[in-house]
Amino acid sequence: MSAPVDKAHPVDLTVDKPAREFRVEWASGEKSAYGFDYLAALCPCANCKEERKERERNPLAVLSGPSGPTELENVEMVGRYALNFIWRGGCGAGIYSFDYLYEIAPGRAESPGEGEG
């Protein structure tokens, strides 16, 4: 577990507000695109993690707060290893490390057996 993981090193970061998408190009050459809604829903801060855990425990979901599209208020680098996304009307405490972003990249999870040509 101590081997350096350089895969999760971004060489290019693009915040595309019109497309409501955040894109990363990794040192490995892979490219990932994250919709704002997807990213906001996976906020890694302690509060949101706790909320997600609670939701797993309790199947009754009471959704409060604004519905509708998640807007990105601001995004800042945190040191050299993470980004802080601030969601308008949502959470502003999420520190998304590049390791975490790499981990949750859409399309990385094994896709349900799509037929290959």
Give the interface segment with Zn ion, choosing from 13-21, 41-49, 63-71, 77-85 (CB under 5 A).
41-49
Specify burial of residue 40 (Cβ count, 10 A radius: 0-12, 13-18, 19+). Answer: buried
How far is Cα 95 from Cα 84, in angstroms, rounded to an integer? 5
> Can you read off the two tokens belonging to residue 40?
């906001």
> CA-based diameter of the chain, in Å?
44
Single residue of 8, 43, 72, 101 touching Zn ion by CB under 5 A? 43
Q: Which residues of 79-115 are buried (b: 16+ CB within 10 A; e: fewer)?
A: eeebbebebeebbeebbbebebbbebbeeeeeeeeee
**26 vs 82, which CB is nearer to Zn ion?**
82
The least CB distance from residue 90 to Zn ion, in Å, is: 8
The least CB distance from residue 106 to Zn ion, in Å, is: 19
Taking CB under 5 A as the rule, does residue 94 contact Zn ion? yes
The least CB distance from residue 101 to Zn ion, in Å, is: 15
Taking CB under 5 A as the rule, does residue 72 contact Zn ion? no
Single residue of 15, 41, 45, 75 touching Zn ion by CB under 5 A? 45
How far is Cα 75 from Cα 86, in angstroms, rounded to an integer? 6
**64 vs 111, which CB is nearer to Zn ion?**
64
Binding site for Zn ion (CB under 5 A): 43, 45, 48, 91, 93-94
